[in-house]
Amino acid sequence: MKKVRVRYAPSPTGLLHIGNARSALFNYLYARHFNGEFIVRIEDTDVLRNVEGGEASQLNYLSWLGLSWDESPDKGGPVGPYRQLERLDLYTKYANALLEQGLAYKDYREGSENYAIRFKVPENKTYAFNDLVRGKLSFESKDVEDWIIVKDNGIPTYNFAVVIDDHFMEISHVLRGEEHITNTPKQLMIYQAFGWEAPLFGHMTIIVNEQKKKLSKRDKDVVQFISEYEQMGYLPEAMFNFISLLGWSPQGNKEILSQDKIIAQFDPKRLSKAPAMFDKNKLAYINSRYIKKLSIDDLAVKIKPFLDKANIEIVDEAWLKLLASVFQDRLSYIGQIVELYHEFFHDDFKLTDDAYQFLVENNSLALIEAFRKMLENQAFEVEILDQAIQDVSQQLDVKGKPLYMGIRIAATGDMHGPSLANCMALLEKDRVLNRLQKVADKLRGDL
């Protein structure tokens, strides 16, 4: 097997979106699995659609996802330049070579001296290749019209430039979306015209939404751009993991995999032939698993910018870490901390019907009143609050769910959650005492 060299070749026309991120990721995985090389090339010939900062944005978010590359515009390399607009002389040279061989011809615009160059499609020829994902595919030349390889402004078309670039950059394998299948016969024509060996092609299936419609930038139900996930507080490791599963399946049922394990297992033979569904719930689950792996110190650092942006006062570093520990298991993405904070500290403290019914059925009034009285002269520290729970348990001979859930409902409004003492310490003394009093008053009034 010859050395693996693959590429990701975006146009700098916008932000990195899910589809392009998957293309980049699968090529990266293929290169790293086979100890090959991953090249980033910028296809910037569509000048009118290029946006300022588009190239830098692409590279920035590839890096954020955890991808590294061996050659690119920013790193350089032996087969550069890596921007198409810097390679125009090369395209012109080989377009002229086709003209000289009679394999292409000039197509003049009516009433103008400007001309495009069209490739002369051979007659009665079959173009076949073994797709790494789909097996053998073939096309007949009779179904392809003579096509433009250089526009009348001197800019090469995609299907011509990509062949020149892939050949001289020694690209061995091309993994790309299935929308490129119909481009392949045109590209094979150019390879054969020059007598060059074509790379091996593999065409990934489309990504669909939960309604099984092709994911598009206009699909408002799915966040499209990697930058948006960063801004919401999704972790890059989780995004890498999730995107790797969009059309590829690892061995076994395990879905939470480190980058190293994904690289070790990656094989195009395990790429799906069926559309890959973008499951928002699955992404949230995977991200939550990665959040749970964070140390409290690391999570505290990550939630702080979101609290600052929401103008939420951070009492001190200990309070921030306590907040992180209380909500770590409930976060699907880091930015959710703001929503959870407001729900937790909401002044309009109300109980659900189920929660209130639990207190009634377990005669929790005495427990709540005794616990509140016990807390009046206590410092609100986690260890002291834990001891207070044990003390009221012994005093009233209440244990288990009636004890812990009774206090939790009255203090936090929730029937389940993280450490009860941590929650109360975070809520602070006045708020907890007020809530306990409010619930006790309601229970007493309903007797």
CA 369 – CA 350 distance, rounded (Å)? 18
Amino acid at 323: L
Question: 3, 142, 217, 373: which one is catalytic?
Answer: 217
Ordered DSSP codes for 130-143: EETTTEEEEEEGGG
**Residues sharing a CB contact under 8 Å with residue 355, sequence separation 6 or more, in sequence order:** 409, 413, 414, 415
Q: Are 440 and 372 in contact (CB under 8 A)?
A: yes
Q: Is 251 exposed, middle or buried (0-12, 13-18, 19+ CB in 10 A)?
A: exposed
Ordered DSSP codes for 305-341: HHHHHTT-----HHHHHHHHHHHGGG-SSGGGHHHHH
3 state SS of 156: strand
Amino acid at 104: A
Q: Is the dihedral of CA 105, 108, 113, 115 positive or negative?
A: negative
- Distinct helix (H) and strand (E) counts, the chain: 18, 11
CA 419 – CA 322 distance, rounded (Å)? 10
Q: Are 359 and 409 in contact (CB under 8 A)?
A: yes
CA 137 – CA 141 distance, rounded (Å)? 13
**Residues sharing a CB contact under 8 Å with residue 218, sequence separation 6 or more, in sequence order:** none
Helix (H) or strand (E) holding 54: helix 54-65
Long-range CB contact pairs, 178-186, < 8 A, 24+: 178/203, 178/204, 178/205, 178/206, 179/206, 181/131, 181/137, 183/158, 183/159, 184/127, 184/129, 184/137, 184/139, 185/127, 185/139, 185/141, 185/144, 186/119, 186/144, 186/147, 186/159
Q: In which residue are the tokens 């146009």 written?
A: 11
Tokens describing residue 201: 């092609």
Secondary structure letter of residue 269 according to DSSP = G
Amino acid at 69: W
Q: Are 19 and 52 in contact (CB under 8 A)?
A: no
Q: Are 181 and 137 in contact (CB under 8 A)?
A: yes
Asked if 217 is an active-site residue, the reply is yes
Q: Which residues are marked as active site?
A: 217
